[in-house]
A = this chain, B = another copy of it.
Amino acid sequence: MRRIVLLVLAVCFANYLSAQNQSATWIWYPGDYEVWLSNDMQNRRTERGTFFPPFWKMDSHYVLVEFHKEFQLDKPEEISIYAEGVYNVKINGKMVHGTPSKLKLDKGTQKVTIKVHNQAHVPSLMVQGETVNTSKDWLVTFEDKEWIDETGKASDASGTTYVKVGYWNFNDPENKPSAFKLPTRLEHAVSVTPHKDGKLIDFGVNTFGFLTLKDLKGKGQLEIYYGESKEEALGIETCETLDVLDINNSSPADTTLENSKAFRYVYVIGENDLDFKGADMLYEYLPVEERGTFKSSNDRLNKIWDVANYTMELTSREFYIDGIKRDRWIWSGDAYQSYAMNYYLGFDQETVKRTIYALRGKEPTQSHINTIMDYSFYWFLSIYDYYLYTGDREFIEAIYPRMQTLMEFVLERRNKEGLMQGLAGDWVFVDWAEGLSKEGALSFEQLLLCRSLETMAFCAELVGENKEKDYYNAEAKELKDKIFNYYWNENKQAFVHSVVDGEQSDNVTRYTNMFAIFFDYLNDQQKQGVKSNVLFNDDVQKILTPYMRYYELEALCALDEKDIVMQEMLDYWGGMLDLGATTFWEEYNPEKQGADHYSMYGREFGKSLCHSWGASPIYLLGKYFIGVKPTSPAYDTYLIEPYLSTLEWMEGTVPTPQGDIKVHMDNQTLTLSAPHGVGTLRLNSSIVPTANKGEFTKVGDNLYEMRIDKDFEYKINYKK
């Protein structure tokens, strides 16, 4: 609740500011701030006190950029100029003397050009005037090729590529992009208990932020061991994160640590007489509006949703990260799922965009995103989803050139059969699964590439590149044919896992088969084959990560096996709750026992107990049970197909760009309203449903559809 109050205050403050000026905002070269901020964030990982940066190429912003925009002024106007970096100003091509912080513009045409240089931070600019303000419509270049010719006249800047600027929400001159920090709030430990040579602190739930030790007094070395579990905090030889401080407090003082950490438990051992009285923390969080909700008659399911929501809250930071304890990095495959959950929670477009920019990085493209082949493909897919949910064409236009160059990189790496196969430096990931073969060309990678090519074609059309659209469509078509030729096994009625040296392998895994279902690449017969021979076949290696469980359950939803999905959610995620989980895990194997659950990567506490990909019930419940999804960009059209399954009732809200869709359902009545667009309600009912507006059409056995218009509360009676 506190979080919402803060947000309201923030909005008021923003309103106050906008009264002062015409919404000036800090601007920069698009993607550069995201690259800079993500470098900063991702280099905060430590492992047992040691700096642990990412192992892929980190990019840098352009250190010198030029901003410009032309204005037509009715009357003279004074502008204020703020920059992060050293700068100069030209008005109508003429250099202004010195480094003006205020400047009077004449009336008439005024082309404002400002060049900013900064190595340590992103060159950023804010201009405030009555009508002349920095905004998303300004242009920027990093290679202005203007030059002064021998006649002394400034030539036109031909050959210069101007693009629209990047921006976020820095709307106050004092609120500099380089100074950005996530907000924090005070939280208290629930217990501090003596344990052997030290004290064990418990915060009650897995959390993230800056530990405060209260009334810390004495002199000597203070050892601080963090644990997502009690076992980890007490496992001082093997816990994943720790801090060692030299303290010299002659009188008691509260000490807050400089580095944020993830923990539920903290075990503190003080040398000599070092001691402290209690513990607090500054909980660090990304402010996100609470929009998506879910409640039902099943308390266990509600708890699952709440814990998933909290898991998402913790892993939504400057960017969507994987887990809070260990990597704190941006991984494309993990982020792809965070985006999807976000569309059913806060609908926070900015964090999606920031994360997509940060993952892409800058030219030259020399490796896959995060070095992982599949992660390049999820990056393409995420852009399709983003557009579908938000309708944000501006972003597609901005990101399209980077899509082109990444796809160029990808296509140049195909083998002689035209298939994606791991080359030196490529990490073919798919999933954490014992003994999973990465040899040869995996069907899974081809499938993701095919969908990526379809996304390229879609976006090419959006930005008006029709020749490119045709090219990508042709490539997608050709690859799809290859996928069936190379990998579909008629006897098994399933896709096999790989082709090695031109030979189809005998191995069948779930990945390709389940993705093919919700990509809608299969006909009905093939779908049924996959369902019984793969998804319902216990001989096929089981999936143990919530990461791939997400897609497996999505495939089952697409096959209308939602009751199984409901039960799986209750069992699998419920299973973690039964073990005391306060956030969802990186991996969960119900067959393990006790603290064995916490091990991974050959390390005793290697597993992340708060991992973004653990939060997928958010998405599954919103999309397949509350049942709301867009069928055209920004919910201009959408489908509502609520499904109670074993629940007695459920209710939820699903955010859209223009407000929330609200659904309440029990066994006999459905109430819903939508703020925008034209929806299709689809009901599976044994009797013809009736509504207070509109009429149902029968579209199949027990299947009825009705048009939903905006701004009306529908009440529908039906029998399940």
Contact = CB atoms under 8 A, between A and B. Distances in A.
B98 A147 contact: no
16 contacts: A39-B64, A40-B119, A51-B115, A54-B64, A55-B144, A55-B147, A56-B145, A58-B64, A58-B117, A119-B119, A143-B425, A145-B425, A145-B427, A150-B434, A152-B601, A152-B603
A363 interface: yes
Interface string A42-61: 01000111111111111111
Nearest to A50: B88
Given A63-B58, A99-B51, A143-B56, A120 B119 contact: yes
Given A98-B50, A159-B426, A364 B367 contact: no
Contacts of A145: 55-56, 367, 371, 425, 427
Contact of A55 (B61, B97, B146): B146
A62 interface: yes
A4 interface: no
Interface string A370-395: 01000000000000000000000000
A585 to B, nearest CB: 16
A160 B427 CA distance: 12
A87 B51 contact: yes
Interface in A62-114: 62-64, 86-88, 95-99
A690 interface: no
A151 interface: yes
A51 B117 contact: yes
A602 interface: yes
A134 to B, nearest CB: 19
Contacts of A96: 50
Nearest to A64: B58
Contacts of A434: 150
Contact of A159 (B150, B151, B159, B424): B424
Contact of A601 (B63, B98, B148): B148
A142 interface: yes
Interface in A9-66: 36, 39-40, 43, 47-64
Contacts of A602: 151-153
Contacts of A367: 143, 145, 159
Stoichiometry, as copies per complex, reads 2
Contacts of A160: 425
Contacts of A115: 51, 53
A53 B363 contact: no
Interface in A408-466: 423-427, 432-434
The 7 closest A-B pairs by CB, nearest first: A159-B425, A152-B602, A120-B120, A60-B60, A159-B424, A57-B143, A58-B64
Interface in A177-202: none
Contact of A62 (B58, B427, B606): B58
Given A159-B367, A425-B158, A48 B146 contact: no
A364 B366 contact: no
A73 B167 CA distance: 54
Given A43-B86, A51-B88, 7 more contacts: A53-B64, A55-B144, A57-B142, A60-B62, A120-B120, A143-B425, A364-B364
Contacts of A60: 60-63, 119
A598 B452 CA distance: 61
Interface in A146-174: 146-148, 150-153, 158-160
Of A147, A150, A371, A434, the most chain B CB neighbours within 10 A belong to A150
A152 B432 CA distance: 12
Contacts of A55: 144-147
Contacts of A49: 97-98
Contacts of A143: 56-57, 366-367, 425
Nearest to A429: B147
A312 to B, nearest CB: 25
A100 to B, nearest CB: 9
Nearest to A145: B425
Nearest to A155: B427
A59 B58 CA distance: 14
A518 B166 CA distance: 51
A96 to B, nearest CB: 7
B152 A51 contact: no
Contacts of A153: 602
